Every structure is written in C-alpha cells, then in structure tokens.
Structure 1
Amino acid sequence: MPNEPQRDPFIEGEGAASKNIPAEGNPYQEGTEDYALWSAGHERVASAIEARESEGT
C-alpha cells in the first residue's frame, strides 16, 4: 500500500532494546539486511543502557 509508513529495522531494534526486549527477539530472518540493521540498532541502545548501569547512573 502506498500510504504505509516506511519501517526502519534499525529504529525498531533501538525501540526493542529500550523496552528490554532481548536481542533474540529480532523478528527478521537471520542473514538478511533487515536482521543486521535491527541487531545494530538493538546493540547501540543496549550498550548505552549497560554503560549507564555500570556507571551507576
């Protein structure tokens, strides 16, 4: 459909990490570009959260 919003797997991965959804929750097929983008977004946010927690803030 032309009116469907474009999905962005990277942003979806970021959102999943911020909601504490584990990386294993990646909805895309392993080996695809979308899978890699989702994983990268998830890792970016998860790493930031982990760093904040280790600093105690």
Structure 2
Amino acid sequence: MADDPFELGARAARENIPAEANPFAEGTEDYALWAAGHERIATAVEANESEG
C-alpha cells in the first residue's frame, strides 16, 4: 500500500519542506490531501512559534 498523501504532506511540513514541493499533480485528490496534511502541521508549528 502506498503512503497516505495526507501523512506525506504532514511529514514534509515537519521536515520544513515547503508546500510548493507537493509532488502530486495539481488538481488531483492526492494533491489536495498532501496540501491539507502540510497545512495542518505548518499551522500548528506557526501557532507554537507565535506563542513564544
């Protein structure tokens, strides 16, 4: 079974890989899932950094 695109995006965000590095074709479900996973982690990281 292939890795879940959502989890791949989340992992990329944890590794400080930019959202522009999404490996999936824009407009596909996998692209959207990867982006959502990336955004979830990136948003949490940004929130933690702004707290101090």
Shared fold (TM-score, shorter chain, > 0.5):
yes
Q: How many residues align?
A: 52
Q: 4+ residue stretches of structure 1 with deviation over 2 A?
A: none
Identity %: 67
TM-score (norm 2): 0.96
- Unpaired stretches in structure 1, ≥5 consecutive residues: none
- Matched residues in 1 for 2:42 and 2:19: separation? 9
Matched, 1:36 2:32: yes
The offset of 1:19, in angstroms, is 0.3
Q: How far does the alpha carbon of each residue in 1:17-51 deviate from its partner, in whole angstroms, 9 at most, with x for none?
A: 00000000000000000000000000000000000
RMSD of aligned alpha carbons: 0.6
- Matched residues in 1 for 2:29 and 2:48: separation? 29
Matched, 1:22 2:18: yes
